[in-house]
């Protein structure tokens, strides 16, 4: 057994103290490995950079010699030693759904960040003693007895976050004999009846399509912030959700709460149980390269929203909103023309989840979700409603997850084509592995369910009028996106340029207010409008005024129901949505 003792002093400093104790089993040296990344986020994170102090001691508290082999692997000399203790501290001052945070009000740990495994001893049981204030409650999916937690093996430890505080709110609901826990940390007023009703509905829907649930209990851990936030991380028996502000999560942010929770619950099957062969098992020390991010996140993004719709938790309008958000994110990212969804997922290991070089790659979230919408509808068409994307995911669950083996990208593609035929093969070739325009294929697929795409006015006025998107950073208006060949691009304006003036007047307030209030630009833009606007652009070594003609850029589409849908389309729509 590997024993951990966790404590802290001066929580405002954000350092957590760890002691790992275990027997040496007669080994002359032992290696202690800290993870370099965490499952669910496919980029290196190098958690060891948060360790300030590290030491090794024998059973008599004598120091033992050690050295670092890699950036996150320590080797300790243990000749003649029976018991070893590793003492170190970890800086916990990042509050999101997958990190660690300590302050005067809570201790929040994701063990994959801060707890070691012993090389060649990953299967051993862990026992964790938490030295926390007496009035603190512990939220965890690990087995608990008092302030002690136990879990079998590092894989489960790494996926078992812990929240300790005196303000936790807790309720449960049951589906098919499985208990689902709802834990809320942070100030918020909750409508438990509404929460449990909606969560029960989409949970039942998800279990129905797979036939069973992969684990014996499940926990939702909410970190509720007083500021606007949104993030979720999936684990085998739980998920952590960051959401705020707390006074809006039951009204203005409630759709977001449901969306992220349904998404993360679906991950319990898709990526935690149904895993790509490249991650079977995980290698925590380096990149686990794989190209099926379009399955891990694309299917989950699409199905998470679909499950809310077919369970009656989301109305059609709420579901259509999620698909239109996917469309907008896809159409405003010109990286879609340069790197496919499959290759973009592979390259998460290269540049992570940040924007990166302009227009370099696409996303495994909205873009892959749109591909899965196409695949789903084409399977329904090809099988006359007898099968759908649900059939593919259930087959993967039964033939791979339940048999404890990983699937390959060919496995997934072949199963989809088996049910969907030539049209699905074309989606893979043209969009998942290619960079062809989605819109014609999407229009054809939507016809199956009597749906269509209609042109939509871009609500971002800078994007619509001039082909750029900007944000306010430290009081400055900074351009972040430029549509290729737009009037902005043709005039030499680029991402990271600063806009200092509009028509010679220094910018005060929001850029959108200036377009409407100060320049009296009206919507919609009149075709052939020749109005010009002068922007003063500041680059790193120069500043100049540039005249831009108003145009129409970053064009958008939205998904709507056809008013003249046929009886066959309506029948297939019912199958698709139920």
**Alpha-carbon distance 546 to 333, whole Å?**
25
C-alpha 39: how far from chain center = 11
Contact assessment for residue 44 and residue 37, using Cβ atoms and an 8 Å cutoff: yes
pLDDT confidence tier of residue 236, bands split at 50, 70 and 90: very high
pLDDT in tens, 336-384: 999 999 999 999 999 988 778 999 999 999 999 999 999 999 999 999 9
Q: Tell me: the pLDDT tens digits for 464-501?
A: 999 999 999 999 999 999 999 999 999 999 999 999 99
Report whether 205 contacts 309 (CB < 8 A): no
306 and 446 inside one domain: yes
Strand order in the sheet with 106-109: 101-102, 106-109, 162-165, 137-139
Residue 315 in tokens = 């109305």
- 111 and 26, same structural domain? yes
d(CA 457, CA 324): 12
> Are residues 182 and 259 located together in one domain of the fold?
yes
Cis (ω within 30 of 0) for the bond into 524?
A: yes
Q: Which of 110, 141, 164 is the last residue of a domain?
A: 164
Per-residue pLDDT band at 190 (split at 50, 70, 90)? very high
| C-alpha 125 chain-centroid distance | 29
Respond yes or no on whether the N-terminal peptide bond of residue 281 is cis (omega within 30° of 0): yes
Please give the pLDDT value at position 518.
54
Residue 356: predicted pLDDT = 83
Co-location of 144 and 8 in the same domain: yes
In whole angstroms, what is the distance from residue 337 CA to residue 194 CA? 43
Looking at residue 527, its pLDDT comes to: 41
Q: What is the pLDDT of residue 519?
A: 54
* CA 213 – CA 72 distance, rounded (Å): 35
- How many CB atoms neighbour CB 562 within 10 A? 16
Examine residue 245 and say whether the peptide bond preceding it is cis (omega within 30 degrees of 0). Answer: yes
Q: What is the gyration radius of the CA atoms in the chain, in angstroms?
A: 26
Q: What is the pLDDT of residue 147?
A: 98
| E strand intervals along 114-249 | 117-118, 125-130, 137-139, 143-145, 148-152, 162-165, 169-175, 178-185, 217-224, 229-234, 238-244
CA distances from 31 to 20, 122, 528 (A): 13, 12, 70
Q: How far is CA 84 from CA 13, 80, 395, 436, 515, in A?
A: 28, 11, 47, 58, 67
pLDDT at position 434 is 98
Q: What is the mean pLDDT of residues 217-239?
A: 98
Q: 361 and 339 in contact (C-beta within 8 Å)? A: yes
32-42 residue pLDDT tens:
999 999 999 99
CATH number for the domain harbouring residue 408: 1.10.390.10
Instruction: Indicate whether 431 and 295 sit together in one domain.
Output: yes
3-state helix, strand, coil in the chain (%, to 5): 35, 30, 40
Look over the chain and give the mean of its residue pLDDT values, rounded to a whole number: 95
Q: Identify the pLDDT of residue 517.
A: 58
Picking from 112, 146, 164, the residue at the C-terminal end of a domain is 164
Helix, strand or coil for residue 388? coil
Looking at the structure of the chain, the number of domains it has is 4
The verdict on 205 and 311 lying in the same domain is: no
Q: Which residues contact 319 (CB under 8 A, 6 or more apart)?
A: 305, 306, 308, 309
Identify whether residues 438 and 542 lie together within a single domain.
no
* Residues 509, 371 within the same domain: no
Please check the confidence at residue 225 and state whether its pLDDT lies above 80.
yes
- Domain identity same for 326 and 443: yes
Quick check: helix, strand or coil at residue 496?
A: coil
pLDDT attached to residue 443: 98
Instruction: Name the residue among 372, 348, 226 with its Cα closest to residue 287.
Output: 348
**Given pLDDT bands bounded at 50, 70 and 90, which one contains residue 516?**
low
507 pLDDT tier (thresholds 50, 70, 90)? confident
34-37 contacts at long range (C-beta below 8 A, 24 or more positions apart): 34/72, 34/73, 34/114, 34/115, 34/116, 35/72, 35/112, 35/113, 35/158, 35/284, 35/285, 36/71, 36/72, 36/284, 36/285, 36/286, 37/284, 37/287, 37/288
- Please give the structure tokens belonging to residue 259: 């969306």
Domain boundary, last residue among 268, 286, 313 = 268
Q: How far is it, in rounded angstroms, from Cα 32 to Cα 284?
A: 12
Tokens found for residue 520 = 């009296």
Residue 524 has pLDDT above 50, yes or no: no
Give the pLDDT mean for 397-414.
98
The Cα 358–Cα 360 span in angstroms is: 6
Contact 464, 458 (CB under 8 A): yes
Neighbours of 381 (CB within 10 A): 20
| Element spanning 559, H or E | strand 556-561
Q: Are residues 382 and 525 in the same domain?
A: no
As a whole number of angstroms, the distance between CA 156 and CA 201 comes to 28
346 and 427 belong to one structural domain: yes
Tens of pLDDT, residues 108-157: 999 999 999 999 999 999 999 999 999 999 999 999 999 999 999 999 99
Q: Give the N- to C-terminal CA distance of the chain in Å, as an integer.
A: 48
Residues spanned by the domain of 294: 275-452+562-578
Q: List all residues 6 or more positions away from 432 whose beta carbon is below 8 Å from its beta carbon.
A: 294, 340, 341, 342, 368, 371
Tell me the C-alpha distance between 289 and 380, whole Å: 32
What integer pLDDT is reported at residue 526 of this predicted model?
A: 36
* pLDDT at residue 556 in the model: 98
In this prediction, residues 402-416 reach a mean pLDDT of 98
CATH number for 8: 2.60.40.3650
Tens digit of pLDDT for each residue in 238-292?
999 999 999 999 999 999 999 999 999 999 999 999 999 999 999 999 999 999 9
Q: In 267-315, which ranges are continuous DSSP H helix?
A: 293, 300-310
Task: Count other C-beta atoms under 10 Å from residue 466's C-beta.
Answer: 28
- The helix (run of H) or strand (run of E) holding residue 466 is helix 461-466
Q: Two tokens at 219?
A: 């926990």
Give the pLDDT band of residue 520 (cuts 50, 70, 90): low
Centre a 10 Å sphere on the Cβ of residue 227 and count the other Cβ atoms it contains: 7
Q: Which of these, 86, 63, 88, lies nearest to 8 by C-alpha position?
A: 88
Compute the average pLDDT of residues 527-546: 84
Co-location of 65 and 193 in the same domain? no
């Amino acid at each position: 057994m590997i024993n951990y003792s966790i404590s802290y002093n001066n929580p405002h400093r954000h350092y957590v103290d760890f002691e790992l104790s275990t027997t040496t089993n007669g080994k002359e040296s032992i290696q202690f490995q800290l993870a370099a990344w965490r499952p669910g986020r496919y980029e290196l994170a190098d958690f060891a950079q948060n360790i300030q102090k590290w030491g090794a001691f024998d059973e008599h508290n004598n120091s033992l010699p050690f050295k670092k082999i890699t950036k996150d692997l320590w080797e300790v000399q243990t000749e003649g030693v029976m018991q070893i203790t590793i003492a170190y501290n970890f800086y916990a001052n990042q509050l999101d759904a997958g990190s660690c945070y300590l302050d005067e009000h809570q201790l929040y740990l994701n063990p994959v960040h801060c707890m070691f495994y012993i090389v060649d001893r990953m299967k051993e049981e862990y026992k964790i003693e938490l030295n926390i204030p007496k009035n603190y409650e512990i939220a965890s999916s690990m087995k608990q007895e008092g302030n002690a937690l136990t879990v079998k093996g590092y894989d489960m430890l790494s996926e078992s976050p812990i929240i300790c505080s005196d303000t936790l709110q807790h309720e449960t609901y049951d589906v098919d004999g499985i208990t689902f826990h709802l834990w809320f940390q942070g100030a918020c007023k909750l409508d438990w009846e509404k929460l449990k009703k909606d969560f029960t509905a989409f949970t039942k829907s998800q279990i129905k399509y797979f036939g069973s649930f992969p684990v014996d209990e499940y926990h939702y851990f909410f970190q509720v912030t007083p500021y606007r936030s949104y993030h979720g991380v999936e684990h085998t028996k739980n998920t952590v959700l960051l959401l705020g502000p707390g006074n809006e999560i039951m009204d203005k942010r409630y759709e977001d709460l449901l969306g992220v929770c349904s998404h993360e619950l679906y991950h319990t099957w898709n990526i935690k149980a149904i895993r790509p062969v490249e991650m079977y098992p995980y290698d925590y020390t380096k990149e686990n390269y794989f190209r099926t991010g379009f399955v891990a996140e694309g299917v989950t993004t699409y199905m998470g929203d679909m499950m809310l719709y077919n369970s009656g938790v989301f109305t059609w309008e709420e579901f259509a909103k999620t698909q239109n958000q996917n469309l907008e994110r896809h159409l405003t990212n010109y990286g879609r023309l340069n790197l496919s969804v499959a290759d973009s997922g592979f390259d998460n290991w290269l540049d992570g989840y940040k924007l990166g070089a302009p227009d370099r790659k696409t996303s495994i979230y909205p873009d892959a979700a749109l591909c899965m919408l196409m695949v789903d509808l084409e399977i329904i068409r090809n099988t006359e409603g007898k099968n759908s994307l649900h059939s593919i995911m259930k087959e993967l669950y039964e033939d791979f997850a339940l048999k404890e083996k990983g699937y390959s990208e060919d496995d997934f593609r072949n199963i989809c084509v088996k049910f969907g035929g030539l049209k699905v093969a074309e989606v893979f070739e043209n969009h998942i592995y290619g960079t062809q325009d989605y819109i014609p294929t999407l229009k054809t697929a939507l016809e199956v369910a009597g749906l269509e795409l209609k042109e939509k006015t871009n609500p971002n006025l800078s994007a619509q009028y001039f082909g750029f998107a900007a944000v306010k950073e430290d009081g400055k208006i900074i351009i972040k996106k430029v549509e290729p060949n737009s009037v902005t691009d043709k005039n030499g304006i680029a991402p990271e340029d600063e806009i200092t003036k509009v028509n010679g007047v220094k910018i005060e307030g929001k850029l959108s207010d200036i377009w409407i209030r100060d320049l009296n630009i009206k919507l919609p833009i009149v075709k052939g409008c020749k109005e010009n606007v002068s922007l003063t652009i500041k680059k790193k070594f120069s500043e100049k005024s540039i005249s831009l003609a108003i145009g129409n850029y970053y064009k958008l589409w939205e998904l709507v129901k056809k008013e003249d849908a046929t009886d066959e389309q309506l029948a297939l729509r019912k199958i698709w949505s139920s």
